[in-house]
Amino acid sequence: MKNGTIITIDNLVKRFPIGGGHFTALEDINLKIETGEFTGLVGPSGSGKTTMLNIIGSLDNPSEGDVIVMDTSMRGISAKRASTLRKQHLGFIFQTYNLMQVYTVYENVEFPLLLLKMTSSGRKKAVLNALEWVGLTDKIKSKPKQLSGGESQRVAIARAMVKRPQMVLADEPTANLDAENSHHILRTMEKLNKELNTTFLFATHDDKVIKYMRRIIRLEDGKVVADNLVKN
């Protein structure tokens, strides 16, 4: 899938049960995202950006409408199909890095490849490449607790990118980082996006992140209120 639509969102509605009623987190969303985009879902807390990211990442299901990711409908997707999609084609980057504390940097990055049952030599090559992209080849044997916040997030990026996924979903990736580290992280992701044509979709309300986006989809109260391409 070199070019073309990677995500199609049709009349998406997401409701969560609350007490006796329900809360509508996303309402009537219609979007298309093309391969290779560097796009931000932007909006204040509670606007629905993380919920949308989770549905796109097959971690949640739509209440109404449909989301099609790489020709796979998220509506009623089986757990097995969803896990295969995530394992083979999606990478995740989280606000709190979510690195496994008992593993070294190398082992953390290697983990997605173990799930893909890649050979030992193939894994080694891919892990070293990924760590080179993020500039952490000297930290291979370090444990997450020995790393700074910026370094931890770079490990998370390497872990998300090591299997060369078609799309990376990043939820507030710079929320716990200072300005310098935020820029470093974003420049890294921008470079990977350009070099590998990987689609990046961010959920963020951080201005430092927003200014790197080439497309900004603004959400408010679960609705798309603006969708703009940015010319850098």
Partner 1 sequence: MLAVKLAIKNLFGAGLRTFLNVFILSVAYVVIIMQNGIIQGWNKQARHDTIEWEYGQGQYRYETYDPYDPFTYEDAHGTIPDKLLPSFEKGNIAAVLVSQATIYPEGRLKTIMLKGINAAQKVVALPTNKLVAENDEIPAIIGSRMAVDIDVNIGDFVLVRWRDANGMFDAVEVKITGVFRTNVPAIDAGQIWIPLKTMQSMIGTEKEATLIIVKDETDRELDLEGWDFWDHSELLADMDKMIKGKSIGNAVMYLILLALAMLAIFDTQVLSIFRRQKEIGTFIAMGMTRRQVIGVFTIEGTMHAIMALVIGALWGIPLLLKLKQVGFKMPEGVDQMGLPISETIIPAYSVALVLGTIILVTITTAIVSYMPARKIAKMNPNDAIRGKIQ
Q: How many residues bind partner 1 (CB under 8 A)?
A: 29
Here the contacts of 113-117 (C-beta below 8 Å, separation 24 or greater) are: 113/162, 113/163, 115/87, 116/87, 116/88, 116/163
Q: Which is nearer to partner 1, 152 or 216 (CB)?
A: 152
Instruction: Provide the minimum distance between the beta carbon of 103 and partner 1 in the complex, in angstroms, as a whole number.
Output: 6
Tokens of 84: 């295969």
Per CB under 8 A, does 100 bind partner 1?
Answer: yes
Q: Please, which residues have CB within 8 angstroms of residue 218's CB and are 6 or more apart in sequence?
A: 42, 43, 224, 225, 226, 227, 228
Interface residue with partner 1 among 4, 102, 135, 197 (CB under 8 A) is 102
Interface residue with partner 1 among 115, 225, 226, 229 (CB under 8 A) is 115
Interface residue with partner 1 among 28, 64, 66, 107 (CB under 8 A) is 107
- Residue 94 class from Cβ within 10 Å (0-12 exposed, 13-18 middle, 19+ buried)? middle
Instruction: Provide the minimum distance between the beta carbon of 102 and partner 1 in the complex, in angstroms, as a whole number.
Output: 3
3-state SS class at 179: helix
Burial track 167-185 (b if 16+ CB lie within 10 A, e otherwise): bbbbbbbbebbeeebbbbb
Start-to-end CA span in the chain (Å): 25
Residues from 136 through 175 that contact partner 1 (CB under 8 A): 159
Nearest to 173 by CA among 92, 110, 69: 92
Residues from 26 through 85 that contact partner 1 (CB under 8 A): 50, 54, 57, 59-60, 79-80, 83-85
Instruction: Provide the minimum distance between the beta carbon of 123 and partner 1 in the complex, in angstroms, as a whole number.
Output: 12
Q: Which is nearer to partner 1, 70 or 230 (CB)?
A: 70
What whole-number distance in Å separates Cα of residue 148 and Cα of residue 154? 10
Interface residue with partner 1 among 10, 103, 175, 221 (CB under 8 A) is 103
What whole-number distance in Å separates Cα of residue 168 and Cα of residue 93? 7
Interface residue with partner 1 among 40, 43, 65, 112 (CB under 8 A) is 112
Interface residue with partner 1 among 11, 98, 148, 197 (CB under 8 A) is 98
Instruction: Give the interface with partner 1 as residue ranges (CB under 8 A).
Output: 50, 54, 57, 59-60, 79-80, 83-88, 90, 92, 94-96, 98, 100-103, 107, 111-112, 114-115, 159
